[in-house]
Amino acid sequence: NAGVTQTPKFQVLKTGQSMTLQCAQDMNHEYMSWYRQDPGMGLRLIHYSVGAGITDQGEVPNGYNVSRSTTEDFPLRLLSAAPSQTSVYFCASSYSLPTQGLVTDTQYFGPGTRLTVL
């Protein structure tokens, strides 16, 4: 298993450009999420998904869109990049505990994408 993969690893954008950060997992996990990490700020949740076709907003969703057409993929779209979106972005996934009907809190993270917006 490759686990959680993210592309690209690095990206530089100009203000106003749009782009999509890719995230894929091959563990058949239902739950996927996107975080951003800024120095001294820990990880902040942008958007998450509990399954194909279902997404919701996290703590800092403005300026980002997501969709979940398959279990494996969860792309994050920046609609019009701004310097405030310069950050490291992590995708994560986790699975359900069928006997309890809950998603385990242990999340598996991808390697991250370092984004710079000029």
- By CB under 8 A, name the one of 16, 28, 41, 69 that touches other proteins: 41
- By CB under 8 A, name the one of 1, 2, 98, 105 that touches other proteins: 105
Q: Note whether 52 binds other proteins by CB under 8 A.
A: no
Pair of tokens at residue 51: 């399954």
Q: Note whether 75 binds other proteins by CB under 8 A.
A: no
Cα radius of gyration rounded to whole Å, the chain: 14
Quick one: which of 63, 54, 51, 45 has its CA closest to 25?
51
Interatomic CA distance for residues 84 and 80, integer angstroms: 11
By the criterion CB under 8 A, which residues form the site for other proteins? 31, 33, 35, 40-45, 48, 50, 56, 58, 90, 94, 96, 101-112
